[in-house]
Amino acid sequence: MADQVAQRHPKVTWWCPQLPPSPQAAMRLILAGIQTWPLNAMAVVGSSLGGFYATQVAEKTGCPAVLLNPAVNPARDLAKYIGEISSWNDPADTFFFQPEYIDELQQLTVGELTCPERYFAIIAKGDEVLDWREMHARYQGARIDLLEGGDHALSDFDDHMDAVLAYLNLC
């Protein structure tokens, strides 16, 4: 996506930081990074746990958000992973998922969406990690592309790039 944004929208600032394992630290990093951004001209995209964080950012800032198989209840889903785990993108990269991160996730959980039409969710029924029905219910009122099949990583993401970039309305 970074390459597509750079090619199609060279004036857009792209920022995709490596987030720390602590949800509170991750949110602090994100909010500090966008602190000086013009809120009326920004958008956020997040996948899985990043979709959970993107929802938090969209609710705090009012910006549009694209969510890719977003985590709906990560406090519940990640509780079984306390301990040393591997990064999703690099199995050689390990970190320790602390028990207190579950409390941090609960504290970050957003209630009912204030403006569902601000969201565009791409949800794969074939997601092997998250329940598509929960995602679909959570983002009722949003634009939802519900995919037959697919997987958690949205391996066919390139096929959805045009729709994502069009929704973001980048200048």
**CATH label of the domain that carries residue 73:** 3.40.50.1820
Structural contact between residues 49 and 22, judged by C-beta atoms closer than 8 angstroms:
no
Domain limits at 72?
2-168
The pLDDT tens digits of the residues spanning 8-45 come to 999 999 999 999 999 999 999 999 999 999 988 899 99
- Judge if pTM exceeds 0.85: yes
What is the domain count for the chain?
1
The pLDDT tens digits of the residues spanning 50-109 come to 999 999 999 999 999 999 999 999 999 999 999 999 887 788 889 899 999 999 999 999
Q: Is 162 exposed, middle or buried (0-12, 13-18, 19+ CB in 10 A)?
A: exposed
